[in-house]
Every structure is written in C-alpha cells, then in structure tokens.
Amino acid sequence: MDGALFSLLFFFFAQISAGVAPMRWPQCEWLAGVIFWVSTAGMAICVVWYAHSQGWDSMAFRMIEQRSLGTGILVLICGVGLGVLGLSIIAAGDKPKPASSNSLPRSDVFTLAPYIYSEARSIKAADGRETNLWENSFYLMVGNQSEDGKTLRKAQARIQGYDRPVLLATIKDTTANETDIRHGEWAFFMVGRLVLPKPIGMWKGNTTIEDNFLKSYENNIPMGVLTFDVWSSDTKRQYGIAHLPEHPVTWKLPIVVSADDKKSLMVVLKINFEDQKTPVTYDNDEPAHEKN
C-alpha cells in the first residue's frame, strides 16, 4: 500500500516538473511532453495498484471511508490538471505573440499585422539528400486602411542596411518589388530568412539551397552560429546578420513602407536569435512613425 502511495506522489511531482521546466528550458519541450504523459499513466497505474491491494469488491466504499485513497485520487486529479495547464502554457508560447495595438506603428494610410508572418520549408540538398534543416522566411504584412478607400499605388518596402545600400523587399511568391494594394487588402514583403534545425510558421513544402550556402549552414548551425539572410527584390541573399553564441546581439532592421503620393511609414524590426519561437518582431522600444 505504502509503495503505491509513494509512487503516486513521485509521478505527481514528475508531472509538475514536466509542466514547469520548459518555461526555463524551452529546448526541452518534447522531453517534458513525454515525461508528462508517462507520469499520467504511472499515476493511473498506482491508483489501480492501491485499489487492488485494498480489495476490488469494497473499493467504492473505501473510497469514502479511507482518507488515504481519497487523498491519492485528489493528488492524481491535481497533478493532471497542473500538468495540462503547464503544457497549455508551453503550447501557447509556440504561437506568434501579437503586438499590442498601442505599440504598433500608426499611419492614416498603412496598417500592419500585429505579428511578422513566417513560412517554413524543409531543405534538401541538390542531390535530394535530406538535411534536417529548415528555411524560415519572414514577411512584413502591410495593409491599406486609407480613409478615402483608394488603392495604394506602387507600394514598396525599403530595407535600410547598416553599411549597405537600401534594398527593395520582394513581394511574396513573385520577383516584383512593388504592388498596388486595394482598400482592405494586404501585401506581404519578404524581409529575410533564417535557417534553423526547426520550422517556424506555416509549413510550405520543400526547397533546395545552393551547395556553398548549405555547407556553411551545416557547419555553423551545430556550433550555434546563425545568420539572418536579408533578401532583395531579385530574390537573392544580399547580406547576413550574424549571431555568435559567445557574443549574442539583438539586431534592429529599419524598413520604410511607401506608396505614390503618400507619407511613408518607418518600421523597425527586432531580430533576436535567442528567441527561436518568434525571432523577428516589432521593436517596441523604437516605435515606427510617419515620414514627411
């Protein structure tokens, strides 16, 4: 009997640990999920074990009469509840965190989505070899909220480089660098890509990468050396923003959104390599503003 109750308490604390640990160590989420469900099964077995040791024929009465079994079942219910709550919090953390409406850039013409849209493609080598790497592409979503309801003509997004010339961002799934945006519609401007051993965002199939870049990724990523590749309108990598594990830096990427005969909008994005769930977000410390 004592063995069953002690085992029940052990699995209870294992469940709590599985729900809380990933908040401190996000890379252990998959292991926490395994521990949680194994602990749940273990607790159920311990309850059955204890009930059997007390006699199946009088189990219903002893659930009321014996405080120890009632306590054990209560521990089971609490453990499952806390574990599910912890894993729910973890799962919610995988979703892009929308920016507060108060922190989003303001404009009389342009509107921005509350998050940076992303798509993921699994990478294959030119010879068809699986690489276990993912190309994660990030897009700035720009909408038309003009009060007059007119179409925005020749909308563009210009990426301001650190020591590089201004680049025109590519329109999603095209080679164009400008587009017309009807009232209430959106345009997706590709900002860049980040190659990681995990996907971020909507899965969009497979892709291939040039051998010289692929060799660099396969060599650097296991060492924690990451690169955010800034894209341009000719659908090519222009330059990379690097992350070294011994010198972590959060980079800022200014982008100017414009259209014919309209005030442009300055948007500042933040690239945080330490956050591999939502590495590209708006920089709330440096809010965007209209430019004359």
Task: Give the relative orientation of helices 2-24 and 29-54 as an angle to the nearest 10 degrees.
Answer: 170
> What are the DSSP calls for 14-52, one per residue?
HHHHHHHHHHH-GGGHHHHHHHHHHHHHHHHHHHHHHHH
Are both 207 and 146 inside the same structural domain?
yes
83 and 126 share one domain: no
In a domain, 104, yes or no: no
Q: Are residues 47 and 147 in the same domain?
A: no
Task: Give the rounded percent of residues in the chain with a pLDDT score beyond 90.
Answer: 38
In a domain, 243, yes or no: yes
Print the domain residue range for 7. Answer: 2-93
Instruction: Give 126: exposed, middle or buried? Use CB within 10 Å, 0-12, 13-18, 19+.
Output: exposed
Q: How confident is the model at residue 111 (pLDDT cuts 50, 70, 90)?
A: very high
Determine the pLDDT at residue 57.
42
Model pLDDT for residues 167-211, shown as the tens digit of each residue: 889 899 888 899 999 999 999 999 999 999 999 999 999 999 888
Last residue of a domain, one of 93, 118, 150: 93
Q: Are 204 and 168 in a shared domain?
A: yes
Residues 256 and 139 both lie in one domain = yes
Q: Is residue 7 part of a domain?
A: yes
> Do residues 124 and 88 both lie within one domain?
no
Residues 56 and 164 in one domain: no
Please give the residue that has the higher pLDDT: either 39 or 220. Answer: 220
Does residue 129 share a domain with residue 175? yes
Task: Kindly report which listed range (5-14, 61-70, 183-192, 254-263) carries the lowest average pLDDT score.
Answer: 61-70
Span 83-103, average pLDDT = 52
Residue 30 buriedness (CB in 10 A; 0-12 / 13-18 / 19+): exposed
Domain presence at residue 33:
yes
Which pLDDT score, from 0 to 100, does residue 249 have? Answer: 84
* SS3 category, 122: strand
Residue that terminates a domain, selected from 93, 123, 146: 93
Report if residue 98 sits inside a domain. Answer: no
pLDDT in tens, 5-43: 666 667 666 766 666 665 555 555 666 667 777 777 776
Long-range contact set of residues 214-223: C-beta below 8 Å, sequence gap at least 24: 214/123, 214/125, 214/131, 214/133, 217/133, 218/131, 218/133, 221/133, 221/195, 221/196, 221/197
One domain, residues 129 and 35? no
In a domain, 102, yes or no: no
Q: Are residues 193 and 284 in the same domain?
A: yes
In terms of Cβ atoms closer than 10 Å to its own Cβ (0-12, 13-18, 19+), residue 255 is: buried
Q: Is residue 275 part of a domain?
A: yes
Residue 194 and residue 51 share a domain: no
Give the separation between CA 160 and CA 177, rounded to whole angstroms. Answer: 15
* Number of domains comprising the chain: 2
For residues 153 and 151, what is the distance between their CA atoms, to the nearest angstrom?
6
pLDDT at 287 > cutoff 50: no
**Do 133 and 249 belong to one domain?**
yes
What's residue 167's pLDDT?
Answer: 81
Q: What sign does the dihedral 114-279-215-168 (CA atoms) show?
A: positive
In a domain, 273, yes or no: yes
Cα 69 vs. chain centroid, distance in angstroms?
43
Provide the pLDDT for residue 280. 94
Give the per-residue SS3 of 42-60.
Answer: HHHHHHHHHHHHHCHHHHH
Domain end residue (candidates: 50, 65, 93): 93
Rounded to two decimals, the pTM is 0.65
